[in-house]
Chains A and B, each alone.
Chain A
C-alpha cells in the first residue's frame, strides 16, 4: 500500500453530555480518495474539524509525516498541507478570486509601505485556475461566480498552499449533474498529482465512482471500512445503520381522524423545479426525514408563510387556505416550531411571560391595552403544564436551558388553537429528559386532533415517534413509509434517492 500521509488514532471528543467522537481511527495514504460517510450527526464534520485544527480533541493522537500532535491548530494544519473545502463556502464575495486565494497571506510589495501586490497574486493564481480548467480569471469578483466556480476557487486556494490533503465536505450538495462530473474529474486529476482527498458525501453514487476506500462513522465511532472492491450501496447503508432503537413509540389514542392538512403540488423557493405532495391527518404524527438540505425546512417555511409559495396549494380539512405571511398561517391554525429557536422562536431578552403571549397578545388586551392579569394567567398556566423550570415567568428567556427555551416556544403555540403544527428538529440540543417530555406533548396534541409534522434528522426520533414517515430527497417526497415498513435501511434508501424495490419488513 502507498505511503501513509496522516493518521488519526483514538480520537475522542466529548461535549458536556454528548460524546461526539469515540475512539475514531482514520488513515489517509498519498494520492488516495478516501470516502467518509455516515448519517447526519455521525461525527464526520466534527472529525474533520479536529483534523483542520478548528477544535481540539479530548483524547487521541494526530500523526502527520511521523510527528505526533495532541491537537492541531489552524496554522499547523495549513503548514502540514491540510486544506478544507467547506460545506458553506468561506469566501469573501466582495473581493476578487486572487485576493480570496491569498487571503491572510497577501503578497506584499513597496517595502515598508506593505502594499498589496495584486499583479504578483494574479500571476500566481492564473496557472492554478488553468490547471483546474476554470473559465474565469483571477480578477473576477467572487460575487459573480456560481457555487461550482466558487468551489474551484477554494480548491485553487488549497493548491496554492501546496496542500497534500484536501477535505471536501458535501462538495456537491448544491451542484448540478454536469458540475458534479466536472468536480469528479478535478478530483481524479488531484489524485494523479499525488494529492489525497477526503470526500464526505451523502451521495453514495459519487462515493462509488471516486473513492478508493470508504470509512463509515456511526454515533461517533468508526464502524467499518470498505475497500474499492467491496463497495456497494447495500454494504454502505448496512454499515451506516444498525443501532438498537429504543422503544419510544406511543400509539395514538384513536385511529387518525379524517381531515388534516394536504400539501398539493407545492413548489418552494429552494427547489423551484420540484413539486411536493404530502398529507397529514388530524391525530397523526408524520415524521419528515431526509438528509440535511433535502428541502424539509424550506417546505415548513413555505407552508408557514415565511417564504413565498411558488406553486401548489395548501388545504386544511379540504378547504384551501392562503398563507402569504406567518400571520395568515397563524390565523389558519398552522404553527411552526422553528429549527433555530434562538433566532426565530424566541425574543431571548424578553421574559417568559411576554414570549408566551407574543403571538396572541391581542387576545389578552382590551382596546389595545395589555391585560396584565390575563397575560400572567396564561403564561403561568403554560409554565405549569409544560413544567418549565424557572424561578418565575418574569425572567428573561435567555437564562433558560435549551429544553426550557423550547418549552417556551411550545407554550406560545399551545396557548392558542393549533390545527396543524410543524416541529422542525424539535429536540436538537435538548437533554434526554426534556426530549421525552416533548414527545409526550406531541402525542397528546395529536390525540386532541392536531395534525403534526415532525422534521427530524435523528433516526431514533423519526422511527420511534412517528405514526408514518415521509422521506424527502432533493426537493421532493421520495416515499412514505407505514409503521410496518419502518427501518433505518428503508428511510436511508429513500433519503439517498433509491427506490424501495424490495420493501424490508421491519422486525418488531
Chain B
C-alpha cells in the first residue's frame, strides 16, 4: 500500500540528486524555496482533483474556474472595495457552488463527468473573458487586502505560506480520506458503486461531495494564484492547470478507473512535476521541451507502476497456489514425476480405486 508512495519518493530523490550533482544551483536555498512555493500552489487543487478521480470521475474545469473566480475576486477588492474577508468568502463559496452544480449534473442528471467539466472549462473561461472584455485585471497602487496578500504570498521563517498551507491541508484531507467514514465510502463508491449502494451508502451524495470539495479548493487556489501573479489575464490565467492536477494525481497512484490513490501520493506527484519543470530550466534544456519531459516521465512512471503491480499479482497468485498445494500433494508429485500427458492417467486411475 505504501509501496507506491515509497517508489515515488525514491524517484523524486534520485532525480533531485542527479540534477543537483549536474548543477548545484538546483539545491540552493532560493531554488528550493521557490519550488516549495510552486508545490504549495499546485498541490492544493491537485488534492481536490485527486478526490474526484478516486470517485472514478474527472474535473477538467479547474483552470477556467481560476480565471472566472480570479477576475471576480480582483473586481470585488478593487472596483467594489469589498472588505477582503467578504471577498475571500464569496470566492470560496463561488468555488463550492460551481463544484456543487457539476456534482448535481453528474450524479442526479447522470451526465458524464468528462462532458460536464469540459463544458465547465469552456463556459467559465468564456464568462471570465466576457466579464472583463478580455482585459487583464490587476491590483492598483493601493494596498487592497494587504493582510490577505501577506497571508497568501508571505512566508514563515522563510518557508512559503503556500507550502505550509498545503501540508496542513494534506493532513486534514489525509484524515478525511484515510481515517474517516466518508473516505471509506469514497473508495468503496469508486471501486464498486453498485455494491456501495446495496450497502445503503448514498453514492450520489458521496460523489457530489467530492466535486464540491474540489470546487472549494479551486476557490482557495484562485486566491493563492491571484496573489502570486498579482494580476489575472482572463484568456490565459490557469490554462492547462487542470491537466497538471490530473497528471499529479495519476503520477501519485490514482487510477482513472477510480477507487485508488492516496493524499501522500498526490502531494509527491505534484512535487515531482514541479521538480521536473524546474530541472528543465536549471539544466538548460530548451524551455519548449518542458511539456515533453513531463509527458515522458508520467508515461514511464505509470507504465513501470503497472508492470510492478502485475508482477506483484503474479507473485501473490503463486503464493496462493502454494497455500492450497499441500491438500493435493499427491497430484502435484505425480505431475512433477511424469510428463503432463501421462500424469492424467495415474491420477484418474487413483481416483477410481
Binary interface encoding of chain B residues 196-235 relative to chain A, with 1 for a CB under 8 A from any of its CBs, else 0? 1111111000000000000000000000000000000000
Measured between alpha carbons, how far is A331 from B200 in the docked complex, in Å?
Answer: 9
Q: A327-B200, A327-B201 are in contact. Are A361 and B185 (CB under 8 A)?
A: yes
Does A327 contact B320, Cβ atoms closer than 8 Å?
no
Would A354 and B195 count as touching, CB distance under 8 A?
no
Known A-B contacts A350-B187, A365-B181; A359 and B192 likewise in contact (beta carbons under 8 Å): no
A361 touches B181 (CB 8 A): yes
A-side interface mostly: mixed
Residues on A with C-beta less than 8 A from B199 are 326, 330, 358-359, 412
User: Which of A213-221, A270-278, A339-347 is found at the contact surface with chain B?
Assistant: A339-347
Whether B11 sits at the interface, judged by CB under 8 Å, is no
Are B192 and A369 in contact, with the CB atoms below 8 A? no
Q: Does A29 contact B (CB under 8 A)?
A: no
Q: Is A370 an interface residue (CB 8 A)?
A: yes
Contact A344 B259 (CB under 8 A): no
Does the CB pair B320–A399 fall under 8 Å? yes
CA distance A399 to B324 in the complex (A): 12
| A residues near B194, Cβ cutoff 8 Å | 343-344
Tell me if A326 and B197 are in contact (CB < 8 A).
Answer: yes
Q: For A330, A349, A391, A399, which residue has the most chain B Cβ atoms within 10 angstroms?
A: A349
Contact of B200 among A326, A343, A344, A391 (CB under 8 A): A326
15 contacts between A and B (CB under 8 A): A306-B198, A325-B202, A326-B198, A326-B200, A327-B202, A343-B192, A344-B194, A344-B195, A346-B195, A348-B191, A349-B192, A358-B195, A370-B179, A370-B181, A399-B316
Contacts of B185 in A (CB 8 A): 361
A368 within 8 A of B: yes
Is residue A47 contacting chain B, with contact meaning CB distance below 8 A?
no
The answer to whether A147 has its CB under 8 Å from any CB of chain B is: no
B308 at the interface (CB under 8 A from A): no
Q: Which of A90-145 contact B (CB under 8 A)?
A: none
Q: Is A51 an interface residue (CB 8 A)?
A: no
Smallest distance from the beta carbon of A399 to chain B beta carbons, Å?
A: 6
Bound-complex Cα distance A359 to B201 (A): 7
- A240–B188 CA distance with the chains assembled, in angstroms: 44
A449 contacts partner chain B, Cβ-Cβ < 8 Å: no
CB-CB under 8 A from A361, the residues of chain B are 181, 184-185
Is B182 interfacial (CB-CB < 8 Å)? yes
Q: Does B180 contact A (CB under 8 A)?
A: yes
Q: Does A418 contact B (CB under 8 A)?
A: no
B-contact 0/1 string along A307-329, CB 8 Å cutoff: 00000000000000000011101
Residues of the A chain whose Cβ atoms lie less than 8 Å from the Cβ of B259: 349
For A325, A350, A358, A359, the residue with the greatest tally of chain B CB atoms inside 10 Å of its CB is A358
Q: Tell me whether B175 is interfacial, beta carbon within 8 Å.
A: yes
Known: A361-B185, A370-B180. A345 touches B195 (CB 8 A): yes
Q: Mark B161-201 against chain A: 1 for CB-CB distance below 8 A, else 0.
A: 00000000000000100011110110110011011111111
**Interface range, B side:** 20 to 34
Residue of B180, B198, B200 touching A369 (CB-CB under 8 A): B180
Q: How far is the CB of A307 from chain B (nearest CB, A)?
A: 12
New contact pairs (9) apart from A345-B195, A412-B199, CB-CB < 8 Å = A326-B198, A336-B198, A343-B195, A344-B198, A358-B196, A359-B200, A361-B185, A365-B181, A370-B184
Among B198, B200, B316, B323, the most chain A Cβ lie within 10 Å of the Cβ of B198
Chain A residues whose C-beta falls within 8 Å of the C-beta of B182 in the assembled complex: 368
Q: Which of A304, A330, A348, A369 contacts B175 (CB 8 A)?
A: A369
- Contact across chains for B192 and A348 when beta carbons are under 8 A apart: yes
Binary CB contact string for chain A from 169 to 199 against chain B (1 if under 8 A, 0 otherwise): 0000000000000000000000000000000
Cβ-defined contact, A369 with B188, below 8 A: no
Task: Tell me whether A347 and B196 are in contact in the complex, defined as CB-CB below 8 angstroms, given that A327-B202, A369-B175, A399-B320 are known contacts.
Answer: yes
Q: Contact check, A368 vs B201: say whether CB atoms are below 8 A apart.
A: no
Contacts of B202 in A (CB 8 A): 325, 327
A330-B196 Cα distance, complex, nearest whole Å:
13
Q: How far is the CA of A346 from the CA of B188 in the complex (A)?
A: 9
Give Cα A361–Cα B199 distance, bound, in whole angstroms: 10
B306 to chain A, nearest CB (A): 16
**A348: nearest chain-B partner, CB-CB:** B192
Name the residue of chain A whose CB is nearest to the CB of B189. Answer: A347
Q: Hey, which chain B residues are within 8 Å of A354, CB to CB?
A: 184, 188
Q: Does A500 contact B (CB under 8 A)?
A: no
Chain A residues packing against B (C-beta within 8 Å): 304, 306, 325-327, 329-331, 336, 338, 343-350, 354, 358-359, 361-362, 365, 368-370, 391, 399, 412
A347 touches B180 (CB 8 A): no
Least distance between B142 CB and chain A CB atoms (Å): 44
Complex CA–CA separation, A92 to B202 (angstroms): 33
- Take A368-B181, A369-B179, A370-B181 as given contacts and tell me if A347 and B191 are in contact as well, using a CB distance cutoff of 8 Å: yes
CB pair B192–A346 under 8 Å, yes or no, is: yes
Query: A346 contacts which chain B residues (CB < 8 A)?
Result: 192, 195
Contacts of A349 in B (CB 8 A): 191-192, 259
B330 to chain A, nearest CB (A): 17
Complex: A343 Cα to B196 Cα, angstroms: 10
CB distance from A441 to the nearest CB of B (A): 19
Given A326-B197, A358-B199, the answer on whether A347 and B192 have CB atoms closer than 8 Å is yes
Contact assessment for B188 and A345 in the assembled complex, using a CB-CB cutoff below 8 Å: no
B344 nearest CB across to chain A (Å): 12
- Which chain A positions have C-beta within 8 A of B198? 304, 306, 326, 336, 338, 344-345
Q: Which residue of the partner chain A has the closest CB to B178?
A: A370
Looking at the assembled complex, report how far the CB atom of A105 sits from the nearest CB atom of chain B, in whole angstroms.
34
Contacts of B195 in A (CB 8 A): 343-347, 358
**Measured CA separation A174–B180 after assembly (Å):** 46
In the bound assembly, the distance between CA atoms of A304 and B194 in angstroms comes to 13
Q: Which of B219-267 contact A (CB under 8 A)?
A: 259
Q: Please name all residues of chain A whose beta carbon is closer than 8 Å to the beta carbon of B192 when the two chains form the complex.
A: 343, 346-349
Partner of B197, one of A306, A368, A369, A399: A306
Residue of A nearest to B204 (CB): A325
The complex places the Cα of A370 from the Cα of B177 at a distance, in Å, of 11
Q: A329 CA to B200 CA in the complex, in Å?
A: 8
Of A325, A345, A368, A391, the residue contacting B180 (CB under 8 A) is A368
Q: How far is A78 from B200 in the complex, measured between Cα atoms in Å?
A: 47
By a CB distance below 8 angstroms, the chain A residues around B184 are: 354, 358, 361, 370
Cα separation A405 to B316 with both chains bound (whole Å): 18
A475–B175 alpha-carbon span in the complex (Å)? 49
CA distance in complex: A329, B316 (Å): 38
Q: In whole angstroms, how far apart are the Cα atoms of A241 and B320 in the complex?
A: 41
Residues of A within 8 A of B201 (CB): 327, 358-359
A408 to chain B, nearest CB (A): 11
Lowest 7 A-B CB distances belong to which pairs? Answer: A330-B200, A359-B199, A327-B200, A358-B199, A347-B192, A344-B198, A347-B191
The distance in angstroms between the C-alpha atoms of A385 and B323, with both chains bound, is 23
Complex formed: what's the CA distance from A368 to B180 in Å? 6
Q: What is the chain B residue whose CB lies nearest that of A327?
A: B200
C-alpha gap A327/B316 in the complex (Å):
36
- For chain B, residues 303 to 324, give those with C-beta under 8 angstroms from any C-beta of chain A: 316, 320, 323
B200 surroundings in chain A (CB, below 8 A): 325-327, 329-331, 359
Neighbour of B188 across the interface among A306, A344, A350, CB < 8 A:
A350
Q: When chains A and B are docked, how far (Å) is the Cα of A193 from the Cα of B175? A: 73
Residues 259-311 (chain B) with a chain A CB within 8 angstroms: 259
Cα A123 to Cα B164 in complex, Å, equals: 72
Residue on A nearest B317 in the bound complex, by CB? A399
- CA–CA, A329 and B187, complex, Å: 23
Give the nearest-CB partner of B194 in chain A.
A344
